[in-house]
Structure 1
Amino acid sequence: MTPPPSSDDRPAAGSRSRQEGVGSETPPERGRSAAVVKLLVRGERTNAVIGWGLLLVAGYVAVDMVRDGSVLWGAFAALIAITAATPAGATRDWSAMVPWPLVALVTAAVLTRRVGLYPDIAGYAAVSGLALVVVVEMEATTLVEMSRSFAVFFAVLTTMALQTWWTVAQFYSDRWFDTQFLTTQTELQWDFVAVTVVAVLAGGFFQWYLEQFDHVGTHRHPIVPDDS
């Protein structure tokens, strides 16, 4: 007959319950990470602070480009900053800002263009990013509601319209300031193709991201409150 285990061999009730509860407890690191992600995605003031910081960088790049003689791109960078800051100016609320990842996209594009790293791709990203900012501002500040597919389609159309005006501006820059933006007709045609592709990819990704994470500054969390 096997003798019963002594009290020293039996696991303590407290230690057994602690062992059983180890897997069910949420690690503190996971809780802190979730809080940080929520703050970055849902925090209205956090979104505004990051957005304004990025706009300051875009504004500095614009001034630096103009001082360096790249007047056209400096004006485009300034246009990006003004467009992204329009909701805050219209509402007189500094926290009215589009999702900061969009501002990060356009700021990174003009900054990359400024340092001369992949200038063509940076230009396409800047144009398509500005179109995305316009579309998101329409959804977040007006009564306009778009499905994800239509928002991407509308962003592509807006990108093509902006690219058309940008081509006209480059033409007159080449004519008046002796720049070399437009060299051949073939290159001009490929520019339209490339910027359209970038617009589809960027538009699809950001619309998915904004819907997936329910980011502040979208139509679900508008940056202009409804007075009704």
Structure 2
Amino acid sequence: MPSLVDVIDDGGANAVLAWGVVGLIAFAAVESLLDGRLLWSCFAVVAAAVALLVPLGARDPSVIAAWEVLALLALPLVSRSLGVGTQAATYLAVATLALLIAVEIDSFSSAAMPPRFAVGFVVVTTMAVASLWTIAQFAADSLLGTAWLPGQTRLMWDLIVATVVGIGAGLLFEAYFRRSGETVDHETTDVNPDDRSRH
């Protein structure tokens, strides 16, 4: 049965790759700060902190989120820090961060969050962040005289892109949960006959 816990791995190879990805997120935070992109630097710091909550909560550096999930989070941040990011990649980072938060709530609290609920949480969170970002842009333009809002048509397309990316990320994560669950079930099936033969 697929579970959010499948996103957390304690394998040695995964730990090495995952810590390398966390290092890339830290690089993106510093690079964005040096380039004056404070918002992106803060986002990268939050992403790194959320990724580090797993090993801190487990008190074991080898227990960390799967490197593939962390890579989905790091890719948009690193590309943005290098000036080649896109709006769709930004929303993918938001969706992946929402997934990691859901995994940690499920793993380190008494709250139970089935994978399907987590997928819905990812979609809704991505759409909500896009909407809140739009409100923040409008408030800044109205109160501070900035010109962040790109126009009504572009704004609507941004919200559509956020929705599509959120749904796509949700479907991708659900497929990941199914694959992880099947792998765990297969390994369990392989182990059990040996265990029975020993007794």
Q: TM-score, normalised by structure 2?
A: 0.73
SS of 1:214's equivalent? helix
Query: C-alpha distance in 2, partners of 1:174/1:74?
Result: 22
CA deviations over 1:151-171 (Å, ceiling 9, x no partner): 211211122233344445555
- Alignment-mate amino acid for residue 153 of structure 1: G
Q: What is residue 15 of structure 2 aligned with on the other side?
A: 48
- Alignment-mate amino acid for residue 96 of structure 1: V
- Alignment-mate amino acid for residue 111 of structure 1: V
- Alignment-mate amino acid for residue 44 of structure 1: G
Q: What is residue 62 of structure 1 aligned with on the other side?
A: 29
How do 1:113-124 and structure 2 match up within 5 A? 113-124=80-91
Pick 1 or 2: higher relative contact order, CA cutoff 8 A, min separation 6.
Answer: 2
Percent identity between the two aligned chains: 35
- Alignment-mate amino acid for residue 95 of structure 1: S
Q: Report if the CA contact (8 A) 1:45-1:95 is conserved.
A: yes
| Structure with greater proportional helix content | 2
How many residue pairs match? The answer is: 176
Query: C-alpha distance in 2, partners of 1:114/1:173?
Result: 23
Unaligned ranges ≥5, structure 1: 1-40, 217-228
CA deviations over 1:89-114 (Å, ceiling 9, x no partner): 33433233222211000101111222
Unaligned ranges ≥5, structure 2: 1-7, 184-199
SS of 1:112's equivalent? helix
Query: C-alpha distance in 2, partners of 1:215/1:54?
Result: 25
Residue 215 of structure 1: CA displacement?
Answer: 9.0
Q: Report if the CA contact (8 A) 2:9-2:65 is conserved.
A: no
Query: Are 1:131 and 2:98 an aligned pair?
Result: yes
Residue 190 of structure 1: CA displacement?
Answer: 2.5
Selected match of 1:191 from 131, 155, 158: 158
Residue 131 of structure 1: CA displacement?
Answer: 1.4
Query: C-alpha distance in 2, partners of 1:154/1:200?
Result: 10
Q: Report if the CA contact (8 A) 1:113-1:119 is conserved.
A: yes
- Alignment-mate amino acid for residue 207 of structure 1: E
Q: What is residue 177 of structure 2 aligned with on the other side?
A: 210
Query: C-alpha distance in 2, partners of 1:215/1:169?
Result: 42
Q: Report if the CA contact (8 A) 2:9-2:63 is conserved.
A: no
Structure number, greater radius of gyration: 1
Q: What is residue 59 of structure 2 aligned with on the other side?
A: 92
Residue 176 of structure 1: CA displacement?
Answer: 9.0
Selected match of 1:154 from 109, 121, 138: 121
Query: C-alpha distance in 1, partners of 2:45/2:113?
Result: 28
